[in-house]
Amino acid sequence: MSSSRLASLRRAVLLLLPLGLGLALGIVLASHGATREARAAPPPIVDGTPLPSLAPMLEHVTPAVVNIASQTRVAVRNPYFDDPVFRRFFGVPDMPRERVQQSLGSGVIVDAAKGYVLTNNHVVEGADAITVTLADGRALKGKVLGTDPDTDLAVLQIAADKLVALPIADSSTLRVGDFVAAVGEPFGLGQTVTHGMISALGRTGLRGAGYQNFIQTDAPINPGNSGGPLVNLRGQLVGINSMIYSPSGGNVGIGFAIPSNLAVDVMRQLVTTGTVKRGALGVDAQDVTPELARLLGLKEPRGAVITRVRAGSPAAGAGLRAGDVIVSLAGKPVANEQDLHNIEGLTALGTDVEVGVQRDGAALSVSTTLKAPVLQLIRGDGLDPRLSGVQFGELDDSLRRQGVGGVSVQAISDASRAFAAGLRKGDVIVAVNRRDLAGSEDFRRQLAQRPRQLMLTLLRGEEAFYLLLQ
């Protein structure tokens, strides 16, 4: 077919088909022409100068990058189905309906011998089935070794031979301006490589994220890239692509990756124990506003003011009290409550730290050791017979920071009435009989009134629904 004939056909297709379909077919036709032209490879040297290319490096990187597909069964609740009269009248079975929710993401093999794969927590969160597809097309079952929602990291394990792992770089040596490449499977198109540079380091203050110490890059990152690697020009892992900033949902050149040093530290704990333990001072705090700065006698609105010191915590042992303003921790400046949260969460458990404080206009420094917060469990049988076999606990910091109040289900017996009704471990109860909960004490108070009807408002992943206990 002549080139003029091909061009005419392409114009006709794009004019006659809808935009999405025409664009897709246009891409197919254009790629057909590109494939024919690519038969003649360019010379390796032009005018005596070698052509720069990332291809040799990427040949070693891409076999370690995987596609991750997860399936999650999500209960679909209808408020009418929670009415026992409605169920009896219409013969509706006493069980929630379900739908299958699918998610696509990326991951990177970091240990070929043990089959360890690093990815994002949000790629596999709550998944009932995970399929890991290798670059050579092999599809394998993925086993979750552990997840850490606070850093959005997860470790999977696959069983296969001839795996290729990516070497890991020291992310603390990164500099703004270093060139990087992002590899993943955006929009399910297949393995894709983009490149850019490090735009910033140590990014914090991103809404909705937990512990924050992000690498910012302008390498294009799109949906489906989540969990894939960010690599340096040596083909070493420097970050795990996690999120983008976008007003429209598409790439605008502002992407964020979790540094490899943080990812490796989390992975070690998840592989060893299945969980991540972090130290904490044991305080609740908030940002210092200009109004608070004037009331507290501060020269500038900077730091995190303590609103509560938890009993038995390192902060209590060090003599910290409500109204103190923390301005530094472990030698790092604290400009706001987010800084305090980050430094606590990213400092190893058991570390001795100095806490810089402003108290009544005077500066002082105290020493303490970061310890794991003690989880206070609440037995359900002591609150209401319908909750027998359930143990509740306070919400973690990441949820409280998002303004969520209530309690979480820490453990539940399979033989309990609550389990039969649909309550599960990990559920977050945010209201009782449609009255919002501030915390565990509020939960106790509402149940102390012995309500005849017990309707709980639950959060499970991204779903919210009512649960009626008889």
Q: How far apart are CA 186 and CA 166, in angstroms?
A: 20
Side chain identity at 431, as an amino acid letter? Answer: A
Q: How far apart are CA 278 and CA 339, in angstroms?
A: 15
Q: Is 152 a catalytic residue?
A: yes
Q: 121: left (phi > 0), else alpha (psi -120 to 50), else beta? A: alpha
Q: What dihedral angle (degrees, nearest 10) is formed by the CA atoms of 260, 266, 267, 269? A: 150
Distance CA 78, CA 336 (A): 42
> Of 70, 103, 106, 122, which one is the catalytic site residue?
122
Task: Please indicate whether residue 226 is annotated as part of the active site.
Answer: yes
Give the active site residue among 199, 226, 260, 408: 226
Selecting among 148, 150, 152, 339, the annotated active-site residue is 152
Q: Report CA-CA distances (Å) from 68 to 128, 153, 371.
A: 13, 14, 35
Distance CA 404, CA 406 (A): 7
The one-letter code for the residue type at 432 is: V
Nearest to 154 by CA among 195, 192, 124: 124
Q: How far is CA 431 from CA 155, 191, 437, in A?
A: 33, 44, 5
Cα-Cα-Cα-Cα dihedral sign, residues 291, 292, 294, 298: negative
The answer to whether residue 218 is catalytic is no
DSSP 385: G
Mind telling me the catalytic residues? 122, 152, 226
